[in-house]
Amino acid sequence: MIKFKVSDIPIGESEETLTLGKDEVDLGSYEFSGGELHLHFDREDDTIRIFFTIKTELTLICDRSLEPFSFLVDEDYEVIYRLDGEEFTDDVEVTVKPLASHDNVIQIDQEVRDTILLAIPAKKLHPKFLDEQGEPTDFQVTFGEETIDPRWEPLKSLKKNSNK
C-alpha cells in the first residue's frame, strides 16, 4: 500500500523516492517484481499535487511466439487532492480526488497500478519481432518444402470422370 500522512508532507515543494517491493502493487495476471517510484509533492493550503514517475520491469509473454521477454515501464502521472473537492479524471495523465479535512492519509496505489497497466501494449511482441522504429515486422510462417499429397491425383481423376 502506497500511502502518505498529509501532516508529513511539508508546505511547498518536496520530493521523495521509494523502492517498491514485489508485494506493494497488485497487477493481477502480471507479476510485479518491484520498482522505483519518484514523487514530487507540491502542497498548498487546500491542494496537494503529487506528480510521480514509476520505473519497473515486467515480464510479458509474446503474443506471436509465446516467449517471455522483459518490458520496461517508465511512466508519469499526476494526482491532485483538493480539500472537499469532487473526484474526477481530467485525462489520461491527471486525476483529481477529494481530500477530506478530517483524513490525514492519502493513497496512490490505484493510480500507480493503473499507470503500469496502461503502459503495457495491447499487442505484446518480443523485441525480435520489432524493427528499428518499434514497428512490428511481417509475420510469415514456413513449414518446410511445399509438397502435394499424391493421394489427391486419383481423387481429382475420379471427379473429372464423374463430370463427363
What pLDDT is attached to residue 140?
A: 66
Mean pLDDT computed over every residue of the chain? 85
User: What is the average per-residue pLDDT within 129-143?
Assistant: 73
DSSP sequence for the chain: --EEEGGGSPSEEEEEEEEEPTTS---TTSPP--EEEEEEEEE-SSEEEEEEEEEEEEEEE-TTT--EEEEEEEEEEEEEEEET---EEEETTEEEEEE-TT--EEE-HHHHHHHHHHHS-SS---GGGB-TTSPBPP-----SS----TTHHHHHHHHHHHH-
User: What is the average per-residue pLDDT within 134-156?
Assistant: 73
Q: Is the pLDDT of residue 13 over 90?
A: yes
What pLDDT is attached to residue 149?
A: 75
What does the domain layout of the chain look like in residue ranges? 3-163
Q: Is the pLDDT of residue 7 over 70?
A: yes
Identify any residues that bridge with 112 across adjacent strands, giving them in sequence order.
none
What pLDDT is attached to residue 115?
A: 93
User: What is the average per-residue pLDDT within 105-117?
Assistant: 91
Closest CA to 56 of 41, 69, 39, 75: 75
Q: Is the pLDDT of residue 128 over 70?
A: yes
Considering only residues 130 and 9, tell me which one the structure prediction assigns the higher pLDDT. 9
What pLDDT is attached to residue 43?
A: 93
What pLDDT is attached to residue 14?
A: 94
What pLDDT is attached to residue 98?
A: 83
pLDDT tens by residue, 31-68: 888 899 999 999 998 899 999 999 999 999 988 889 99
What pLDDT is attached to residue 99?
A: 82
C-alpha cell at 52: 510521480
